[in-house]
């Protein structure tokens, strides 16, 4: 079986979402990810938002598939020693502790590099170097400080955060790319290095079109924003754009059949200029094709409300899926608003491995996200998350080569869990 990252060992010191998403991606590419967890409690998300009592939550299971778990008390001198041994043989150490935690554990960059000069230490932090460097950051904080919230929502409403985890999961994806780049660089430099992905930086990278617009705004109004057509003045910062498309083609979310009872019976409709004639024919307004007030994109800007109201009067006669079929036959860009229920019931997503059903010894079958990046020659099966400490003995013996006597001594010392007997 071919695996892209075959032979790469990842020491996973991550928790919650940003870090675990990164290491899970690497595991899906074939890396051996060894998750270090605190004895008895483990990753805090094992117990957060539980839907089944005393069973690992979906929050944990969906972020930690394809990994091995070892419990280790780093404050215990024997546990500290085991961690040193793991650092010696691993290619990458990934952490998303609060600023300074790794240093206080006795493993600053200089010490880690002395143990293994080829290791890559990859970190998720809230901010990069600067005045906020030591501040803690969570998903919504990242969206606010990275520019996403200020540009999300309706222009006469408050800033909004998106439901997508662009702060946490988005940063994890960025960090994974940085790690792969560092691994490749090591093949010709022979040296390890540090990789940093700050959550603010990652969100801002995902908001690059808004930074584009901020600079354009200094030279005049943003004509593709609906407020331009409505004659509403722009201020000095990029406004919240509601459901405007963000490109040069006006777009809007429109009602579909059943919208009165279904909160997701909507479709995103783009009035792309090159298919304007087709749009007019489909909705029964062929007179707009030659009408000077509608024939050219620049003229249509002041009539967008009327245009989309007319299109919506037509879309409400069809379901969002009927519209998807009908409009795509005419090459008219659109997209149904798919709910999580729609997606989890979509057989096509299971066929491609985007969604995967896995069995868990305690919770039974559950659905998890599969590899979002498809490689034609990376055959890694998505498997369940590990139980807490499930692979402790396996890692100590098979990975570190400890004999039975040393493993027993470690367990007795409390390095891997509660002390079971006194050790001299």
Q: Give residue-wise pLDDT tens across range 212-257.
A: 999 999 999 998 888 888 889 999 999 998 988 766 788 999 999 9
Q: Quick one: 58 exposed, middle or buried, by C-beta within 10 A (0-12, 13-18, 19+)?
A: buried
d(CA 148, CA 299): 30
Is 346 assigned a catalytic role? no
72-to-35, 78, 203, 388 alpha-carbon distances in Å: 10, 9, 33, 11
Residue 299 clears pLDDT 80, i.e. is over it:
yes
Residue 206 clears pLDDT 80, i.e. is over it:
yes
Token readout for 62 is 């969906």
| String of DSSP letters for 85-148 | HHHHH-SEEEE-PSTTHHHHTT--HHHHHHH-TT-EEEEEESS-SSTTTT----HHHHHHHTTT
| String of DSSP letters for 249-309 | S-EEEEE-TTTTT-TT-EEEEE--GGGHHHHHHHTT-GGGGT-TTTSSHHHHGGGHHHHHH
The DSSP secondary-structure symbol of 362 reads T
Cβ contact 89:160 at 8 Å: no
d(CA 333, CA 220): 28
Whole-number pLDDT of residue 420: 54
d(CA 33, CA 36): 10
Instruction: Dump strand ranges (E) for 311-423.
Output: 334-336, 355-360, 364-369
Report CA torsion sign: 347, 353, 355, 357. Answer: positive
Angle 58-64-70 from CA coordinates, rounded to 5°: 120
- Which residues have C-beta within 8 Å of that of residue 216, sequence separation ≥ 6? 222
Out of 43, 56, 73, 168, the active site residue is: 168
296-to-236, 240, 292 alpha-carbon distances in Å: 29, 26, 7
The DSSP secondary-structure symbol of 44 reads G
Q: What is the 3-state secondary structure (H, E, C) of 226-246?
A: HHHHCCCCCCCCCCCCCCCCC
Residue 67 clears pLDDT 90, i.e. is over it:
yes
Residue 136 clears pLDDT 90, i.e. is over it:
no
pLDDT band at 1 (very low <50, low <70, confident <90, very high): low
d(CA 300, CA 229): 8
The predicted model gives 108-136 an average pLDDT of 94
Bridge partners, residue 93, by sequence: 11, 121
d(CA 124, CA 104): 17
pLDDT band at 302 (very low <50, low <70, confident <90, very high): confident
Residue 116 clears pLDDT 50, i.e. is over it:
yes
Residue 396 clears pLDDT 80, i.e. is over it:
yes
Whole-number pLDDT of residue 423: 42
CA dihedral 44, 46, 48, 50 (to 10 degrees): -170
Residue 422 clears pLDDT 50, i.e. is over it:
no
Report CA torsion sign: 62, 67, 72, 75. Answer: negative
Cβ contact 154:242 at 8 Å: yes
Provide the 10 A C-beta neighbour count for residue 354.
15
What percent of the chain lies above the pLDDT cut of 90?
88
């Amino acid at each position: 079986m071919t695996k892209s990252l075959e032979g790469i060992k990842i020491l996973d010191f991550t928790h919650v979402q940003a870090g675990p998403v990164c290491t899970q991606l690497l595991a899906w590419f074939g890396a051996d990810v060894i998750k270090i967890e605190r004895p008895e409690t483990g990753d805090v998300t094992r117990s957060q938002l539980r839907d089944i009592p005393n069973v690992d939550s979906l929050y944990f299971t969906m972020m930690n598939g394809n990994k091995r778990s070892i419990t280790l008390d780093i404050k215990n001198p024997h546990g500290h020693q085991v961690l040193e041994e793991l650092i010696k043989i691993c290619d990458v150490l990934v952490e998303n502790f609060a600023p300074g935690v790794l240093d206080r554990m006795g493993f600053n960059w200089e010490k880690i590099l002395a143990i293994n000069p080829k290791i890559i230490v990859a970190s998720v932090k809230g901010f990069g170097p600067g005045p906020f460097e030591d501040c803690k950051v969570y998903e919504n904080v990242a969206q606010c400080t990275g520019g996403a919230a200020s540009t999300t929502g309706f222009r006469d409403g408050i800033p909004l955060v998106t439901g997508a985890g662009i702060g946490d999961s988005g940063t994890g994806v960025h960090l994974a790319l940085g790690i792969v780049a560092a691994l490749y660089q090591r093949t010709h430099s022979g040296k390890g290095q540090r990789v940093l992905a700050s959550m603010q930086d990652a969100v801002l990278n995902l908001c690059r079109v808004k930074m584009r617009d901020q600079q354009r705004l200094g030279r005049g109004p943003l004509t593709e924003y609906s407020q331009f057509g409505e004659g509403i003045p722009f201020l000095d910062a990029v406004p919240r754009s509601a459901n405007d498309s963000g490109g040069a083609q006006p777009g809007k979310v429109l009602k579909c059949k059943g919208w009165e009872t279904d909160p997701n019976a909507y479709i995103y409709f783009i009035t792309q200029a090159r298919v304007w004639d087709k749009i007019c024919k489909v909705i029964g307004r062929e007179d707009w094709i030659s009408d000077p007030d509608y024939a050219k994109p620049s003229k249509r800007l002041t009539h967008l409300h009327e245009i989309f109201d007319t299109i919506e009067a037509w879309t409400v006669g069809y379901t969002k899926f009927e519209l998807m079929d009908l409009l795509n036959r005419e090459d008219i860009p659109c997209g149904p608003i798919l709910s999580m229920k729609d997606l989890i019931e979509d057989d096509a997503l299971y066929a491609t491995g985007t969604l995967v059903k896995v069995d868990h010894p305690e919770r039974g079958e559950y659905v998890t996200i599969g590899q979002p990046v498809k490689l034609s020659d990376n055959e890694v099966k998505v498997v369940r998350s590990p139980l807490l400490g499930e692979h402790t003995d396996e890692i100590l013996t098979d990975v570190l080569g400890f004999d039975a006597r040393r493993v027993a001594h470690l367990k007795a010392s409390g390095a891997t869990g509660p002390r079971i007997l006194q050790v001299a």
